[in-house]
Amino acid sequence: MQEYILKTSDLSVGYDGKPLIHDINIHVQRGKVLTLIGPNGSGKSTILKTLTKYLKTVAGTVYVGDKELDTLSNRDLAKQVSVVLTQRLRTEMMTCEDVVATGRYPHTGRLGILTDEDRRIVSETMAKVNITELKDRDYRRISDGQRQRVLLARAICQQPQIIVLDEPTSYLDVRYKLELLGTMRKLAQEKNIAVVMSLHELDMAERVSDYVMCVKGDTIAHYGSAEEIFKHDLVTDLYDLKDGTYNPLFGCLEMLRVEGEPKAFVLCGGGTGVHTFRSLQKQLVPFATGILSENDIDYQVAKDLAAKVISVPSYTEVSEGALQEAIECLKGCDSLIICTDTFGHGNRRCAELIAFAEKLGKEIIRK
């Protein structure tokens, strides 16, 4: 029997007693990361606000450890759960150290005076999150990335069992995103803290989460491990993707394929064609590509972007049939774009395609 630090049973959340999302059943153990994904306005924040007692539960129960959320006093809850919220923190004449130190609030006495022990924890936490050098800087005069790290340090300083973060990566550039999520992952593991957060970046969500919860409509669309959730159809469906596609292998999104009779033929393989595919898509040129082995990385992207893909099964040689198909296709195109100059045993027939293009008088572009 596993022990869950955060658990909900048939929880309904919403505003003013009106349920927005119902039947939420979350189970999170210590040291694990749960990520909520879903379209804008789907209610991710509403769920997080309910878990932190900011909103009243509409129905069902939230358990923190073995206690019901409603029975915990604000102060006791503060010792268990800390937050990093979406809205910006407003401060007045506070150094970063002051901000971090506010995390000690539930542990201090009547007048909130910090003890030496509190100060030690504050400086230790700042060192862990790599913000020691920001100590005496005014919180209003640091970058968004630094602010988010200060807030994370604040949340850690509270020494909670659970940290709840609402879109912690919103204002961050890639470097800080990686850094923040990396720190969080490490934190969960080392301090044995459960992390519950909402994220917009699917690629990140897959890489840092143990569990993923998809919020859509009035219920939880899916709940499971990262591997179970990040599948093509599931993500497409969750976000109603119409103007592009989701690639589960790379965790990235591609723009919508340009349909129509191919105008260009891209000869590629081994990842050499990906950039050309994207640039043709941007110019709204329908294109064909081939001849790709189905285990080729180009094939993964071509599937989403090319109007026509000529392929052969994995680990097989390019067949005569495939070559003929490619030639037929090439006849309708204006140009041949050659991205690869590697022709080996498997794809030697592709080289023949170049000769055909020359014979047909097609424009040949080498990348």
List residues near other proteins by CB under 8 A.
Answer: 52-54, 73-79, 81-83, 85, 87, 89-94, 98-99, 102, 105-106, 108, 110-113, 119, 135-136, 140, 158
Q: How far apart are CA 108 and CA 117, in angstroms?
A: 10
Q: Specify whether the CB–CB gap between 95 and 137 falls below 8 A.
A: yes
Can you list the pairs that 220-229 forms with residues at least 24 positions away whose Cβ atoms lie under 8 Å?
Answer: 220/21, 220/23, 220/24, 220/25, 221/38, 223/25, 223/26, 229/37
Q: Which two tokens stand for residue 210?
A: 């143990």
Query: Minimal distance in Å, beta carbon 66 to other proteins?
Result: 20
Q: How far apart are CA 339 and CA 282, in angstroms?
A: 18
CB atoms within 10 A of CB 114: 16
Pairing of strands 335-338, 264-267: parallel
Q: How far apart are CA 289 and CA 280, in angstroms?
A: 12
Query: Which lies closer to other proteins via its Cβ, residue 97 or residue 206?
Result: 97
Query: Minimal distance in Å, beta carbon 83 to other proteins?
Result: 5
Query: Which lies closer to other proteins via its Cβ, residue 81 or residue 238?
Result: 81
Query: Which lies closer to other proteins via its Cβ, residue 1 or residue 93?
Result: 93
> Mapping DSSP to helix (H, G, I), strand (E, B) and coil, where does residue 18 land?
strand
Query: Which lies closer to other proteins via its Cβ, residue 89 or residue 226?
Result: 89
Query: Minimal distance in Å, beta carbon 95 to other proteins?
Result: 9
Query: Which lies closer to other proteins via its Cβ, residue 91 or residue 236?
Result: 91
Return the closest-CA partner of residue 263 out of 332, 327, 338, 324.
332
Query: Which lies closer to other proteins via its Cβ, residue 53 or residue 232?
Result: 53
Return the closest-CA partner of residue 96 out of 152, 133, 136.
136
